[in-house]
Amino acid sequence: MAKATKKQALGRGLSALLQETSNNINSASDKNADKVVGNIIEIELELIEVNPYQPRTYFDEEALRELAGSIRELGVIQPITVRKLEGNKFQLVSGERRFRASKLIGSKTIPAYIRLANDQEMLEMALVENIQRKNLDPIEVALSYQRLIDEIQLTQEELSIRVGKKRSTVTNYLRLLKLDPILQTGMRDGFISMGHGRAMINVENTEDQLAIYEKILRDKLSVRQTEDLVKSLKSGKVTKQPKKKLVPTYVKSSIKEISEYLGQKIDVTVGTNGKGKISIPFHSEEDFNRIKNLLK
């Protein structure tokens, strides 16, 4: 307990120093920078702006309320990380959930680890820090990987080293972005897993992807069943259902009338060239003769 009190007192002392010198600290070589940068300091929440590079787009409200309750009881155990902007302003690098939860309970300040970083370093820190989290969905991870490649100009090999993952793992995530947006949304919302998504990556036709996705949801297919379905489709063993052709209005309006006259429900198909066929079912020789007599 004494240790915690000493740490808080140190934070307050540095906070006072920050208020006096913050406007003049813009680089590591500036006066008193060593006393501020790299230290944990209590910063007013209103001086901190959210991270524009935050890859996470959804924050569970219930989980935030639970975290807020914990912070109310125990305080912020792990400080957030911010970078110093011009003047007495700061920007989040990591810890947005703690930041949001603290605001939720009306806190005025929050302990923060201060560092200096340019925009590129800021982006890289935010993306890498978030990638390490376990609660990101597969598409959020894939988008973060893609942003690191596009905006930091990293190769997949360099990226795998930065995030501490095998190159094959990075590649598997990035390939998910080739899927139809509807499937990507399905993964983000938890309707299908990354395994389902990976199974459909080699299905190039979008309509086939969507048909498989619908079957996964309808029949609750496992990843293994999905893989088997994709193999069957690619080997040609799955017969695709032909698209239903639209029946012209002049035919549709007469189907009921003809069916009632014949006493049988008829089927009418019409080709793209306008030619069609009427199918009349019968159930016995007697039924056939009855229909024949009606057509005389």
Give the catalytic positions in this structure: 96
CB 296 within 8 A of CB 287: no
Tokens describing residue 285: 């020789």
Check if the beta carbon of residue 76 is closer than 8 Å to that of residue 40: no
CB 154 within 8 A of CB 148: yes
The Cα–Cα gap between 110 and 117 comes to 20
Phi, psi of 186 (to 5 degrees): -60, -35
Alpha helix segments (H runs only) across 26-166? 33-36, 61-74, 96-104, 119-131, 138-151, 156-163
The single-letter code of the amino acid at 185 is: T
Q: Is 277 helix (H, G, I), strand (E, B) or coil?
A: strand
Q: Which residues pair with 269 in a beta bridge?
A: 277
Q: Give which of 25, 129, 34, 31 is closest to 81, Cα–Cα.
A: 129
